[in-house]
Every structure is written in structure tokens, then in C-alpha cells.
């Protein structure tokens, strides 16, 4: 085998191995962070014990956060369709001032593939009063829907594990949580 042919074979094997391992066609996946702090989001409605806000997103998407008895998180598409994200635990609240969007650069557009959102929620597995834990909610974003695919519990490399789950989220099943 000539060196030129061996190089071509090695390049083809690298391309096929990357595709088999789930490498993203059309560009590398990167993170874009947007603000979800109360002061950075637009208040839509507010009353005693209730706050409905729209927070900036990426690629025509936004987040709707409703703080009441329990935090509700919705992915809002450019066409105004909304998808509620689920997580376990009671009386959740925002767990960070930023949301992480996993995006692929397509031409001049950042195309959202997944969202990582931190919530603080009661650990219902602990005795009352429940301990509060910080979960990372991973949601896939596709042309048809957005839904929670993974809940990443506290532990070593929590952020890294969430990014790995987000990068595989497109093919993941939606979690059906209470």
C-alpha cells in the first residue's frame, strides 16, 4: 500500500469513526450562556408569590420561567410554541444565573441542540425537612419538540456529565417525570 493510499484510508476511517461515535455533522458543538437571573429577564406577569418571566435564549429560542409554589421551566420557540421541562424534587428554584445552550454553528447561525439548566430542588429521598440539591436538567431541542432527557445529580464532574448528555440528547428519549 502506498503512503498516499494509506493516508486516504486513515482519513476515511477517522471520518467514519467520528460519525459512529456521534460526532456532529456540520460543525463542532459549543456552549453559549444566557442570563436567567431575575434582573436580566423580562417580567411578563407578577403578583404576590408568583413571577412569570421571559429570559433570553439562542437561535430564536427563549426560556419562560414561572416562579410560584414550584419553578416551572419552558423552552419557547420562535413560533411561540412552548415546551415544559420536567425535573424531580419539590419546590424548585433557579440554581444559577446562567443557562447553558449546546449549539452547532450552521453558516452564520447558532443552532440550539440542547439546554442545560440548573435547579435547586428538595431531595425527596431525604427525611423531612428535605435537603436541597442542585440538579442539572438536560433538555433536547429539535424541530418538533423540546423535553427533558436527563437529570444530572450532584457529584464529580457534574457539568461535564451534563454536557456529554446534552451532546447525545437528540437521540435520547424524553423523561416522563411527575
Sketch the domain layout of the chain as residue ranges. Answer: 24-171
Q: Do the beta carbons of residue 175 and residue 86 sit within 8 Å?
A: yes
Residue 94 is inside which H or E element, if any?
A: strand 93-94
Bridge partners (DSSP) of residue 133 are 121
Per-residue model confidence (pLDDT) at position 4: 41
Picking from 118, 115, 121, 120, the residue whose alpha carbon sits closest to that of residue 139 is: 115
Per-residue model confidence (pLDDT) at position 25: 55
In eight-state DSSP terms, residue 80 is S
Beta-carbon contacts of 167 under 8 Å, excluding residues fewer than 6 positions away, are 22, 24, 29, 102, 113, 114
Query: What does the pLDDT look like over 40-80, one tens digit per residue?
Result: 999 999 999 999 999 999 999 999 999 988 889 999 998 99
Q: 175 is written with which cell numbers?
A: 423523561
Q: Do the beta carbons of residue 58 and residue 103 sit within 8 Å?
A: yes
Beta-carbon contacts of 38 under 8 Å, excluding residues fewer than 6 positions away, are 51, 53, 94
The whole-model pTM stands at 0.81
Query: What does the pLDDT look like over 77-110, one tens digit per residue?
Result: 989 999 998 877 655 889 999 999 999 998 888 9
Per-residue model confidence (pLDDT) at position 43: 98
Helix, strand and coil content of the chain, in percent to the nearest 5, comes to 20, 45, 40
Q: Do the beta carbons of residue 113 and residue 140 sit within 8 Å?
A: yes
**Three-class secondary structure of residue 88 per DSSP:** coil
Q: What are phi and psi of 18, to 5 degrees?
A: -65, -45
Amino acid at each position: 500500500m502506498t503512503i498516499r493510499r494509506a493516508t486516504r484510508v486513515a482519513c476515511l476511517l477517522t471520518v467514519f469513526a467520528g460519525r459512529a461515535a456521534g460526532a456532529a455533522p456540520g460543525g463542532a458543538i459549543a456552549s453559549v450562556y444566557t442570563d436567567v437571573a431575575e434582573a436580566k429577564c423580562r417580567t411578563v406577569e407578577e403578583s404576590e408569590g408568583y413571577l412569570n418571566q421571559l429570559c433570553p435564549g439562542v437561535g430564536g429560542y427563549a426560556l419562560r420561567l414561572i416562579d410560584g409554589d414550584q419553578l416551572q421551566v419552558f423552552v419557547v420557540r420562535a413560533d411561540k410554541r412552548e415546551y415544559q421541562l420536567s425535573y424531580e424534587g419539590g419546590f424548585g428554584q433557579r440554581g444559577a444565573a446562567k443557562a447553558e445552550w449546546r449549539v452547532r454553528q450552521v453558516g452564520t447561525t447558532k443552532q440550539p441542540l440542547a439546554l442545560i439548566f440548573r435547579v435547586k430542588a428538595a431531595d425527596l429521598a431525604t427525611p423531612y425537612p428535605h435537603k436541597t440539591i442542585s440538579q442539572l436538567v438536560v433538555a433536547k431541542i429539535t424541530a418538533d419538540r423540546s423535553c427533558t432527557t436527563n437529570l444530572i445529580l450532584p457529584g464529580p464532574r457534574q457539568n461535564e456529565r451534563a454536557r456529554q448528555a446534552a451532546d447525545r440528547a437528540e437521540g435520547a428519549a424524553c423523561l416522563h417525570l411527575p
